A and B are shown apart, each in its own frame.
Chain A
């Protein structure tokens, strides 16, 4: 690091202290605690517990249900990421094209960013109500007998839809700002070189947007894995039943609904490892991004 202006000794330590204390208490301690709990089976009330070694892990590894949920989480993540990115990209390119009403469009397309995921889920419940939900009716009118909470695929579709609705704005903002940072000279040159607007987009704009896209990819994967908790929780109405669920929701269901502390902790640890891998990937990506710009 090139910078290091001051040499005072106690001040930086004092400045760092609040951050370090909070992290120690609310990050490292719980993380260590989760690892420890994952090796025990514990009575919910705390009266008894037995050390079970890796039992909680082998139990998960052998559980076909856990594998199903992992598979669903993967599919869900792919769908949410793809549709949020694709829709946002189309909208951003169009919003970048138009002059009239550009600001209004921008506002209309980004406000949903501020809607909390469970509230988005709540709106989804209204739109997809079994008896009169407008979207469910729409589906029925085209021959899709949409039943939220009954058919696995329908509930999954609802989860994807609501999650995408909630995520398009973030991607839109990033894509639009990426597009607007493309120098005018490059655009004009492209206009002369490439006849069709599609070619222009594909040959010039898309490569320039790629770094933003890569960055957003990681953001979206993290979103689909973790931040959709509220969407899932509201859409299943508190009854897991035969509904699809994500891995994070399963941690909650087993730990908080079922009071299985050991099993739930083991799942937490598995997720930690997963996120760790994802973040190493992300750090390398950010490095590359800095390289690009």
Chain B
């Protein structure tokens, strides 16, 4: 029924557009399934909210496919007005100056006020340039958080661990005795590298995490704290505290849903989906643990997920439509709806206040974890990272981590290879920028 309603609304809006000569814009995104339906709802809402513009969202596959399709379309001069680009693709699109209109410029040029201070601190700079100018509009912003099975922790007589030391010595053994696998996670490079760096206040790359430019940027993963972490992970695996189910996201989430795994590290954006499932247990969320041995002042995490970029080369009236859509999208009501339905964090302070005032977090305390974690103390290591060919760098990490966890290689060898391969890719990327 929902689909019929949506498509008839689409037909209506198409009819309307011919009648009033509305400006039409397109939005390519990579949100499938239930998330895609929420995206469609937002578009519906925008189209219904005014008479001048019509937006059409188009699902383009995975994040990687959406980026590739957008790049190809740009080269052919057929780019959409808005393209969703995920965290790992940010460097590619931001480095290509002239491919996009910085969101800050777009909004200011079209009379929509912009103040970066309106945005919650964790999302401000990930998609910004080195001077702090926002290039992409943070859209589905998430952060890795810790989901835990409340009954399991209760049965084991433990509370969710704040540090990895606590996990290792207290939580995991107790959970094992209670018959659970203590831990699984769904995205090793994102959770155990990128956000590990941010949370433990470590630099991730030279050149100011890569923000200063592609030339000479080198990755800083071959370092003791990170290697110690992975060594610990393999020890947990041997002790039966941790299990790895492959690179696929769902393969690692399913055992948590089935109640075999007690703690799962996933995305704050998974909250909406998990809540819809009729799980046999209650679950809650808390911050990502950190290593006390590395830092006693844990910091905020990066935003993951993706941002919306306004593609250049479009007529002014379409850019005005894009600006109007961004204004609609960042309005507190829409942000709150998006946050409530999906679990992604609201990107503006105002939307966050609205969610609080509405009592959302009284009803679902777990829904607030992501935004709280993104609002913890910041440092120069927490704004994000900017590395070209990062999709491939992630593939390299996934490959080597998989090899570590299946016993094919040692932690030391793996990190040597990651460092070498990643720096090779970074050098190659710098060469494409000439």
Contact between chain A and chain B defined by CB under 8 Å: yes
Per the bound structure, the CA–CA distance linking A237 and B421 in Å amounts to 23
Scan B396-417; emit 1 where CB is below 8 A from any A CB, else 0.
0011111100101000000001
> Please, how many residues of chain B have a CB less than 8 angstroms from a CB on the other chain?
44
Residues of chain B within 8 A of A65, CB atoms compared:
399, 421
Min CB gap A157→B, angstroms: 14
B246/A150 in contact, CB under 8 A: yes
Find B433's partner among A43, A239, A254 (CB 8 Å cutoff): A43
Q: Is B379 an interface residue (CB 8 A)?
A: no
Per the bound structure, the CA–CA distance linking A254 and B429 in Å amounts to 13
Per the bound structure, the CA–CA distance linking A151 and B244 in Å amounts to 10
Per the bound structure, the CA–CA distance linking A43 and B71 in Å amounts to 10
Smallest CB-CB separation from B400: which chain A residue?
A242
Interface of chain B residues 377 through 434 with chain A (CB within 8 A): 389, 391-392, 395, 398-403, 406, 408, 417, 421, 424-425, 428, 431-434
Q: Is A54 an interface residue (CB 8 A)?
A: no
A241/B247 in contact, CB under 8 A: yes
B428/A41 in contact, CB under 8 A: yes
Q: Is B157 an interface residue (CB 8 A)?
A: no
Q: Is B45 an interface residue (CB 8 A)?
A: no
Min CB gap A63→B, angstroms: 8
Find B247's partner among A46, A52, A242, A256 (CB 8 Å cutoff): A242
Interface of chain A residues 227 through 246 with chain B (CB within 8 A): 237-243
Min CB gap A55→B, angstroms: 8
B402/A241 in contact, CB under 8 A: yes
Q: Is B170 an interface residue (CB 8 A)?
A: no
Q: Is A147 an interface residue (CB 8 A)?
A: yes
Knowing A41-B428, A50-B432, A238-B62, the reply to whether A253 touches B251 (Cβ < 8 A) is: no
Residues of chain A within 8 A of B391, CB atoms compared:
257-259
Interface class of chain B by DSSP = helix
Min CB gap B59→A, angstroms: 15
A150/B68 in contact, CB under 8 A: no
Residues of chain A within 8 A of B425, CB atoms compared:
260
Q: Is B236 an interface residue (CB 8 A)?
A: no
Q: Is B8 an interface residue (CB 8 A)?
A: no
Min CB gap A35→B, angstroms: 19
Per the bound structure, the CA–CA distance linking A258 and B421 in Å amounts to 14
Interface of chain A residues 249 through 269 with chain B (CB within 8 A): 253-254, 256-260, 262-263
Q: Is A207 an interface residue (CB 8 A)?
A: no
B254/A253 in contact, CB under 8 A: no
B244/A239 in contact, CB under 8 A: no
Scan A54-66; emit 1 where CB is below 8 A from any B CB, else 0.
0000010000110
Q: List the count of A-B residue pairs having beta carbons below 8 Å apart.
A: 119
Smallest CB-CB separation from A47: which chain B residue?
B96
B96/A260 in contact, CB under 8 A: no
Residues of chain A within 8 A of B64, CB atoms compared:
238, 256-257
Knowing A44-B71, A149-B247, A240-B395, the reply to whether A263 touches B428 (Cβ < 8 A) is: yes
Min CB gap B166→A, angstroms: 28
Residues of chain A within 8 A of B401, CB atoms compared:
242
Knowing A50-B431, A257-B64, the reply to whether A45 touches B99 (Cβ < 8 A) is: yes
Min CB gap A134→B, angstroms: 17
Q: Is B245 an interface residue (CB 8 A)?
A: yes
Per the bound structure, the CA–CA distance linking A36 and B67 in Å amounts to 24
Find A47's partner among B98, B402, B408, B428 (CB 8 Å cutoff): B98
Per the bound structure, the CA–CA distance linking A168 and B371 in Å amounts to 54
Q: Is B75 an interface residue (CB 8 A)?
A: yes
Per the bound structure, the CA–CA distance linking A165 and B12 in Å amounts to 49
Min CB gap B432→A, angstroms: 4
B432/A239 in contact, CB under 8 A: no
Q: Is B151 an interface residue (CB 8 A)?
A: no
Knowing A150-B244, A257-B68, A259-B71, the reply to whether A242 touches B434 (Cβ < 8 A) is: no
Residues of chain A within 8 A of B248, CB atoms compared:
149, 237, 239
Smallest CB-CB separation from B392: which chain A residue?
A258
B431/A44 in contact, CB under 8 A: no
Q: Is A5 an interface residue (CB 8 A)?
A: no
Min CB gap B276→A, angstroms: 19
Interface of chain A residues 72 through 102 with chain B (CB within 8 A): none
Find A242's partner among B392, B399, B431 (CB 8 Å cutoff): B399
Residues of chain B within 8 A of A47, CB atoms compared:
96-99, 433
Per the bound structure, the CA–CA distance linking A260 and B403 in Å amounts to 24
Per the bound structure, the CA–CA distance linking A48 and B92 in Å amounts to 12
A148/B421 in contact, CB under 8 A: no
Knowing A147-B245, A259-B71, A259-B92, the reply to whether A130 touches B428 (Cβ < 8 A) is: no
Q: Is A180 an interface residue (CB 8 A)?
A: no
Interface of chain B residues 57 through 95 with chain A (CB within 8 A): 62, 64-65, 67-68, 71, 74-75, 92-93, 95
Interface of chain B residues 340 through 369 with chain A (CB within 8 A): none
Knowing A45-B99, A47-B96, A258-B389, the reply to whether A149 touches B254 (Cβ < 8 A) is: no
Residue among A44, A147, A152, A258 with most chain B CB within 10 A: A44
Per the bound structure, the CA–CA distance linking A108 and B141 in Å amounts to 51
Residues of chain A within 8 A of B402, CB atoms compared:
150, 152, 241-243
Knowing A45-B71, A48-B433, the reply to whether A239 touches B247 (Cβ < 8 A) is: yes
B92/A44 in contact, CB under 8 A: yes
Smallest CB-CB separation from B430: which chain A residue?
A41
B431/A52 in contact, CB under 8 A: yes
Smallest CB-CB separation from B250: which chain A residue?
A237
Min CB gap B188→A, angstroms: 9
Per the bound structure, the CA–CA distance linking A254 and B389 in Å amounts to 10
Known A44-B92, A45-B99, A262-B428; further 4 A-B contacts with Cβ < 8 A: A47-B97, A242-B401, A258-B391, A260-B425
What residues make up the interface of B, taking CB atoms closer than 8 Å to A? 62, 64-65, 67-68, 71, 74-75, 92-93, 95-99, 244-248, 251, 254, 258, 389, 391-392, 395, 398-403, 406, 408, 417, 421, 424-425, 428, 431-434
29 contacts between A and B (CB under 8 A): A41-B428, A41-B431, A43-B433, A46-B74, A46-B75, A52-B431, A59-B428, A131-B258, A148-B246, A150-B244, A150-B406, A152-B402, A152-B403, A238-B64, A239-B247, A240-B398, A241-B395, A242-B401, A242-B406, A257-B64, A257-B68, A258-B389, A258-B391, A259-B67, A259-B68, A259-B389, A260-B392, A260-B428, A262-B432
